[in-house]
Amino acid sequence: GAGVSQSPRYKVAKRGQDVALRCDPISGHVSLFWYQQALGQGPEFLTYFQNEAQLDKSGLPSDRFFAERPEGSVSTLKIQRTQQEDSAVYLCASSLTLVGDNEQFFGPGTRLTVL
C-alpha cells in the first residue's frame, strides 16, 4: 500500500518568504509527527497530532512555525518569514494508534533551502 508522502520534495525560498509543506499520512493512521533534520544530525521533534488535535508543539523553534491537520488526515507545516537557519529536511511520520509502542512510518522528506 501507499506510504507517507510529502510535497514538495525540494523547496528553495528566498529569505523572508513563507512556505507550506504538505504531508499525506498512511490512510487510517491516527498519529502524525513532524521532525526537522539538519545536515549531519538526527531528526528533531517539532510537533505531534492525534487526529486533528495538536497535542504537543513544544519542538517548534519559533512562532514563525505553524502546523495544522484540520480533518485529521493531511497535515501542513507552514513557516513564515523564512530564515537561513530554517534550511533543513522536514520529515513527516505517521503511526497507527494512540499507543507509543507503534513504529512511526516516515515520508521521504522535504528539503528546504533558504537563500
Partner 1 sequence: AQSVAQPEDQVNVAEGNPLTVKCTYSVSGNPYLFWYVQYPNRGLQFLLKYITGDNLVKGSYGFEAEFNKSQTSFHLKKPSALVSDSALYFCAVSLNNFGNEKLTFGTGTRLTIIP
DSSP-derived letter for residue 28 is T
95 contributes a contact to partner 1 by CB under 8 A: yes
The cell for 41 is 544530525
Q: Which of residues 19-48 bind partner 1 (CB under 8 A)?
A: 31, 33, 35, 40-45, 48
Q: Which stretch binds partner 1 (CB under 8 A): 20-28, 68-76, 78-86, 103-111?
A: 103-111
In DSSP terms, 23 is beta-bridged to 6, 75
DSSP string across 30-99:
-EEEEEEE-TTS--EEEEEEETTEEEE-TT--STTEEEE-TTSS-EEEEESS--GGG-EEEEEEEESSSS
90 contributes a contact to partner 1 by CB under 8 A: no
94 contributes a contact to partner 1 by CB under 8 A: no
* Nearer of residues 82 and 95 to partner 1, judged by Cβ: 95
Residues that bind partner 1 (CB under 8 A): 3-4, 31, 33, 35, 40-45, 48, 50, 55-56, 59, 91, 93, 95, 98-109
